[in-house]
Amino acid sequence: MPELKILAVDDSPTMRRIIVNTLKRAGFNDVSEATDGKDALAKMKVDNYGLVITDWNMPEMDGLSLVTHIRGSAELQDMPILMVTTRSVKDDIIEAMKAGVNNYIVKPFTPETLGEKIQQVLKATGRS
Partner 1 sequence: MDTRVITVKPQPAKSMQEELRELASTLSDIVRGIRTAQEPIIESQQKVPQATEQLERITRQTEDATHRVLDMVEHITARESEIESLLKDLKRALPATYFRNNSKAKAVIERIRECAGQNQSAAYDIMDALQFQDITSQQIDHAITLLEQVQSRLQSVLMELAGGTQEEIPAEKRRERAYDPNAHFSTENDKDKQFSVDELVDNLSRQMKKD
* Residue ranges that bind partner 1, judged by CB under 8 A: 10-15, 17-18, 21-22, 25, 56-60, 62, 85-90, 93-94, 97, 103-111, 113, 124
Beta carbon nearer to partner 1, 42 or 124: 124
Beta carbon nearer to partner 1, 4 or 58: 58
Find the shortest distance in angstroms from Cβ 32 to partner 1.
19
Determine how many CB atoms are found less than 10 A away from the CB of residue 49: 19
Query: Is residue 118 a contact partner of residue 125, using CB atoms and an 8 Å limit?
Result: no
Does residue 20 come out as left (phi exceeding 0), alpha (psi in the -120 to 50 range) or beta?
alpha
Q: Which helix (H) or strand (E) segment is 97 a member of?
A: helix 90-99
Beta carbon nearer to partner 1, 29 or 88: 88
